[in-house]
Amino acid sequence: MLLAVDVGNTQTVLGVFDGEELVCHWRITTNKSDTSDELHIKLHNLYALEPRVEKLSNLVLASVVPTLTAVWCDLAEKLKIPALVVKPSMDTGLPIRYDNPFEIGADRIADAVAAIHLYGAPVLVVDLGTATNIEVIDKDGVFVGGIIAPGFITSAEALFSAADRLTRVDLETPKHAIGTNTRDAVQSGLVLGEVARIDGLVRYVFDELGYTAPVVATGGLADRVVPISAMITHENANLTIEGLRLLFERNAGQSEQRNAGERV
C-alpha cells in the first residue's frame, strides 16, 4: 500500500492507496517540531482505527515545510519503505511555463497533475489552505502560472492581531452580507470577501486566457467556499493526494529506498 502525505503549513493530509483505490485518509494539524518518533506514534494511532490498512510499501511526499520533509524521510527509513519526495525537477508529465519552475511548490504540481487527469484541460485549481492558490492549466495542458493570496485563516489572524477591539469569530458563512453586529460583519468580510476575491480572480484569469474552464476547489476550507461561489464548478477534497499517487506511479523507480514494507 502507498502512503501519500501532503505537508502544509497548517494541516497535513494523509491518504493510503491500494492501487488506485483511496482506502482511507486523514487531515491532522501540522506541528513543525514533530520528530520522526512522534509522527510514528500519530500514524500508529490513526492506523489502529483502520483495519483495511495492511503493509505499507511506499511513501510519496509533498511538503512546504523543509524540516518536516527530512523528518518524514527519516520515518520512512525507520519503516523500511522507499520515500519519493515530489519536486519540480522530477518527471511530472506536466509542461510548465513558469519563470523559475523550482519556485513551484510540490502541492501545486500535484494539484495540477490530478486536475488534468480527472477533469481534462483547460482547468483551474483553487487550493484553500494557509494561502489561497489558484493554479492555471491552459487548453494545451500547460501549467502557465497561478495566483497566491492570503488564505482564510491567514487573513483572519492578521485582522484579529491588528485590531484590538475585534474578538475572534468562527469562519462561518453569514446569512446576510450586511452584518448588523460585529460578529456577522467580520464573518461577512472574511468569508464572503474571500469568495468574492476568488470569483473575481477567476474571472480575470478567464479574460486573459480568452476562454473558460472547469474550476476545482480543494483544501481544508473548500466546503465553506464552494456552496456560495459563482465560479467554482467542482469540489475534490482529495485532489492533492490523488496527484501524489499519480506522480508516484510515474516516478516509482526514483524512490530513495527499496526495502519491503511493514505495517505501522
- pLDDT tens-digit map of 197-255: 999 999 999 999 999 999 999 998 898 899 999 999 999 999 999 999 999 999 986 65
> 217: which 3 cell numbers?
476547489
- Same CATH topology for 2-87 and 101-243: the answer is yes
**Residue ranges of the domains in the chain?**
2-87, 101-243
Assigned architecture for domain 101-243? 2-Layer Sandwich (3.30)
Per-residue model confidence (pLDDT) at position 173:
85
Residue 259 has pLDDT above 50, yes or no: no
Per-residue model confidence (pLDDT) at position 21:
95
Give the Cα separation of 221 and 129 in Å (integer): 7
Residue 89 has pLDDT above 90, yes or no: no
Give the Cα separation of 126 and 252 in Å (integer): 27
Identity (one letter) of the amino acid at 144?
Answer: V
- Strand pairing report for 11-18 and 21-29: antiparallel
List, for residues 65-88, the tens digit of each pLDDT value: 999 999 999 999 999 999 999 998
Nearest Cα neighbor of 150 from 133, 165, 162, 167 is 133
**Helix, strand or coil, per DSSP, at residue 78:** helix
pLDDT higher at 162 or 93: 93
Per residue, what are the HEC states of 82-132? Answer: CEEECCCCCCCCCCECCCCHHHCCHHHHHHHHHHHHHHCCCEEEEEECCEE
Superfamily of domain 2-87: ATPase, nucleotide binding domain (3.30.420.40)
pTM of the complete model: 0.90
Average per-residue pLDDT in the chain? 91
pLDDT higher at 190 or 216: 216
Residue 261 has pLDDT above 60, yes or no: no
Residue 41 has pLDDT above 60, yes or no: yes
- The residues carrying an active-site annotation are 107
